[in-house]
Chain A
Amino acid sequence: MHNILVKVCMGTGGIAAGGDEVLAAFNKEIAEAGITASVEKKCSTHQVGCRGLCAKDVLVDVIINDRKVTYQHVRPEMVSRIVKEHILENVPVAELVAGDDYHNFHDKQFKVVLSDCGSIDPEDIDAYIAVEGYTSAQKVLGSMSPEETTDLIKRSGLRGRGGAGFPTGTKWEIAGKQVSDRKYIICNADEGDPGAFMDRSVIEGNPHAVIEGMIIGAYAIGAYKGYVYIRAEYPLAVERLRKALDDARRRNFLGKSIMGSGFDFDILVKLGAGAFVCGEETALIASIEGQRGMPRAKPPFPVYQGLWGKPTVINNVETLANVSYIVRKGAEWFASFGTEKSKGTKVFALTGKIKNSGLIEVPMGIPLRQIIYDIGGGIEGDRQFKAVQTGGPSGGCIPADLLDTPVDFESLAKVGSIVGSGGMVVLDETDCMVNIAKFFLEFTRGESCGKCVPCRIGTKRLLEILERITKGEGRPGDIELLENMSVDIKMASLCGLGQTAPNPVLSTIKYFRHEYEAHINDKKCPAGVCRDLLTYMVLPDACKGCGACLRACPAKAITGEKKKPHAIDPSVCIKCGACFDVCKFKAVKKE
């Protein structure tokens, strides 16, 4: 009797690619074939990302007697062939099987937080229990004091994964020492960085790990109530989280006297309304309190006066997801990965001009180069690497000559960027660094809450200057003005948003000043991105006079007789690039 298991990717990405239909097709085909197989839902979008490009979805594992074969790009019409050839006849369908890049991508990673994501059914509490789930909570509540628990986390060296990297154990220790009738623990799942989906993936893939982390944290600090503040734009994560909470309550992992320990704790879900700034902890607190999500000044810090004025610990999803593994495997185990000051692993969302984009987990301290070339497979189209932007809109750009920088809190800060929540955008030679800075400033300008002057008006003015530079209207002195403003905005802003918003500007100026200078002084965009600075011209020697460009030009800016070199009238040209794209002879030049 063969033991057959089919796992279909059912994260947000998997579902978007047709995971539902694929799963239904498997159910149907297997039933019709009359064989016994358990069809298990398999989780989440990061899986999709992790396993290569999102485009490789739907991903399906077929496991027969522990031998796993992964299929990519599975569509419902392929299912009958997989069932027939692989499941019934035990011959994998070779041309549908995922290739080397898929395996390289995984083999170079080291997974703690993501270790059970993608292999267990997130909607089945027993699947989590089967991989030792909730044993950590049981151990803590049953045999450890709150102080011992805090001490364990302190010794592990775990630091906040939300951005600032504050030592988690220290935060718990302070909150634990506060004397108050009520304390709270909040899980910050208001993931708002563009392109980041670490928290969503963890909750979609393994919600119980987050819940267990919260139970342990609550016990350590003495909280009686917890909140998960999660974006309403994450419907699948919210649904799975709510189900997980219900299941946990039913098993008495939440509620009165958890697992007979006498410790009461429960968790509520609060939906965020999509304001980026609500990821800032004091704005998040204001939002839970029913007020406009505007940050408050610190100090006092939330560990002293947080939600409803009571001591409150706010931990990020990934931070909390680490906790149960640390308890299970020991502080020393966790501390054995990473660097001296940055322990453990970190999940990154690797995107941009990279071959294998997706969600990855690596030990702290791994060099950037290894992430980009070994895991990511190098630059798309084998173009030249230019920079990697880490830490989302608050981060900075790191150039090629710093590619050996280890990825940890201190090292990234030293080169003018941050670990942040884990965004990692790879840029190549076709990216204009002024334009990249502008992109991030557009985001922060729009997401500023408007409370404090430097952020509200300062980001607007920074953006205006960047806009004029990319339009060729930059003025001498603009670079210095940008630098001075950026420093002042960083120092004077109220919350993390404004304090970090100028980082993309500062780091691009620091490493790519020449690109700014080219825009301002020569009115050129070296990467050929800023349309207002481009000129298209026909190289007469290369032009065969085929007329392809003439026909493609929507502005009728190109003239020329057949078989004679054509010419572009720059006063009519709208710089759309159509001629450049259609020319087979590389006779159109862009500069």
Chain B
Amino acid sequence: MVTLKINNIEAVVPEGTTVLEAARKAGIYIPALCQHPKLTPFGGCRLCLVEIKGMPRPVTSCTTPAAEGMEVATTSPVIERLRRTVLELILSDHPNDCMVCEQAGSCTLQELAYEYGIRENRFEGERRKYARKDGNPFIERDLEKCIMCGRCVKICDEVQGVEAIEFGYRGFDAKICTPFEEDLDCEFCGQCVSVCPTGALTGKLWSKKGRQLGVREVDSTCPYCGTGCMLTYHVKDNEIVRVTSKEDGLNEGLLCVKGRFAYKYVNSPDRLRKPLIKKDGVFVETSWDDALDLIADKLKEVKAEHGPDAIAGLSSARCTNEENYAFQKFIRAAIGTNNVDHCARL
């Protein structure tokens, strides 16, 4: 453990903790755009600069390991001036079209511009212009909004192990692209989308469906594989408009392409809406009352004629615990047979 002082507050943290992590633990806010708890430190955005006694210049708190006896100041007139300059520089090369941006309201850059009250900008100049071109149906890329924080590159490599994207080119022309700008070879997990601090990476499905206003969030569990990732449905007007995942679930905010992007089955036009009864080989819509009466009558009839073991029930691994419990109880207690199974083996 090392003991350091941050803004004159003593903090005791395990060795290897960065100054930024130590500050956050102590409840001290330091702005940052490129730092992310899942990723190795990058040190590119320069917003988390702090002053450390004995160091000749401000250092990035996200890359500096806390050391015994360190005295850190997370804010000072110089630090605030530098942060402001950095923000103005970023915004001077940003579309600033928050009005129509999908990410408005959940954009870290927007929030920092708001916090620093940046309306005027000393550094207007050329902005990067990119034609939008991507052939994938999941992820919308708007490179003009990219602030080169590198989170997407790092999560794709360090967490997802895919390395679909890289830094390309130099200086002002630097951009995130596929290696050698070849075709994208991607799992579309959308991890990059989830960590992008701006609107550079968003879900294609989200487009114009709703941002913050009138959107409810409902926490639930992913309906696909057995991992059981926690996810959050964003709902507007009885429609799921976005799926995200919170950091505190067992999956720590990670999802796969199915969990993140395959939610549109819910409001598919092919969904069944009414009970159907087959009459002369053709399905005819009917009422719940008639359908359930028919089923009850038929089951009673078969049970009476052939015994309960002539009836079988097949449940599903996609139904809830409660539904499965009730279903097997229905087959066992109401029908009277153990002919009940589900698709575990398949």
Which residue numbers of A lie inside 8 Å of B, CB to CB? Answer: 275, 277, 292, 294, 296-297, 299-300, 445-461, 464, 481, 484-485, 488-489, 491-494, 499
Chain B residues within an 8 Å CB radius of A294: 167
Q: What are 11 A-B contacts defined by CB distance under 8 Å?
A: A299-B64, A446-B170, A447-B170, A450-B167, A450-B172, A453-B44, A453-B45, A453-B90, A457-B92, A464-B126, A491-B58
Q: In chain B, residues 131-158, which have Cβ atoms closer than 8 Å to a Cβ of chain A?
A: 147-148, 150
With A445-B171, A450-B170, A450-B174 as contacts: A492 and B85 at CB distance below 8 Å: yes
Contact flag A456-B171 (CB < 8 Å), given A297-B60, A461-B125:
yes
CB contact under 8 A between A457 and B90, given known A448-B170, A451-B44? yes
| Given A292-B166, A297-B41, A448-B170; A453-B125 close (CB under 8 Å) | no
Asked whether A296 lies within 8 Å of B126 as measured between CB atoms, the reply is no
| Cα of A296 to Cα of B64 in the assembled complex, Å | 11
Measured between beta carbons, the chain B residues less than 8 angstroms from A296 are: 43, 63
Q: Which residue of A lies closest to B58 (CB)?
A: A491
Residues on B with beta carbons closer than 8 Å to the beta carbon of A481: 122
With A454-B89, A461-B125 as known contacts, state yes or no: A448 contacts B172, CB within 8 Å: yes
Within 8 Å by CB of B78, from A451, A452, A491, A493, lies A491
Pick from B41, B44, B45, B125: contact of A460, CB below 8 A: B125
Q: Across the interface, which residues of A come within 8 angstroms of B123, CB to CB? A: 457, 461, 485
**Complex contact A461–B92 (CB within 8 A):** yes
Chain B residues with CB under 8 A of A458: 85, 89
Decide yes or no whether B81 CB sits under 8 A from chain A: yes
> Other CB < 8 Å A-B pairs besides A450-B148, A451-B167, A492-B46, 9 of them?
A448-B171, A450-B174, A453-B46, A453-B86, A454-B86, A457-B92, A460-B172, A461-B92, A488-B85
Task: Please indicate the chain B residues that have their CB under 8 angstroms from the CB of A275 in the complex.
Answer: 170
User: Which residues of A lie under 8 Å from residue B43 when comparing CB positions?
Assistant: 296-297, 451-452, 494
B171, A464: Cβ atoms closer than 8 Å? no
Which residue of B is nearest A465, CB measured? B125
Query: Which residues does chain A contribute within 8 Å of B62, judged by CB atoms?
Result: 297
Complex CA–CA separation, A481 to B57 (angstroms): 21
Interface residues of B in 107-142 (CB under 8 A from A): 122-123, 125-126
B89–A457 touching, CB < 8 Å = yes
B61 to chain A minimum Cβ distance, whole angstroms, is 10
CB closest chain-B residue, reference A455: B171
Whether B65 sits at the interface, judged by CB under 8 Å, is: yes
Q: Which residues of A contact B60 (CB under 8 A)?
A: 297, 494
- B49: Cβ under 8 A from any A Cβ: yes
The residues of A that contact B169 with a CB separation of less than 8 Å are 450
> Which of these, A299, A446, A451, A492, contacts B86 with CB under 8 Å?
A492
* Min CB–CB distance A274 → chain B (angstroms): 11
A461 to B59, CA, bound (A): 23
- The answer to whether B82 has its CB under 8 Å from any CB of chain A is yes
A439 and B170 CA atoms in complex are apart in Å by: 18
- Residue among A277, A489, A491, A499 facing the most chain B CB atoms (10 A cut-off): A491
**Residue among B46, B62, B86 with the most chain A CB within 10 A?**
B46
Chain B residue numbers with a CB within 8 Å of A455 are: 171
Q: Say whether B93 faces chain A, with CB atoms less than 8 Å apart.
A: yes
Bound together, the chains give a CA A83 to CA B63 distance in angstroms of 66
A412 to B342, CA, bound (A): 81
Given contact pairs A453-B90, A457-B93, A461-B89, A494 touches B148 in the complex (Cβ within 8 A): no
Cα A349 to Cα B82 with chains together (Å): 35
- The docked-state distance in angstroms from the alpha carbon of A450 to that of B173 is 8
B57 & A491 in contact (Cβ 8 Å cutoff): yes
- Residues in A neighbouring B78, C-beta threshold 8 A: 491
Considering the complex of A and B, which 5 residue pairs feature the smallest CB-CB distances, nearest first?
Answer: A450-B174, A297-B63, A297-B43, A448-B171, A488-B85
When the two chains form their complex, are residues A464 and B125 in contact, meaning their CB atoms are under 8 A apart? yes
User: What B residues does A484 contact at CB under 8 A?
Assistant: 85
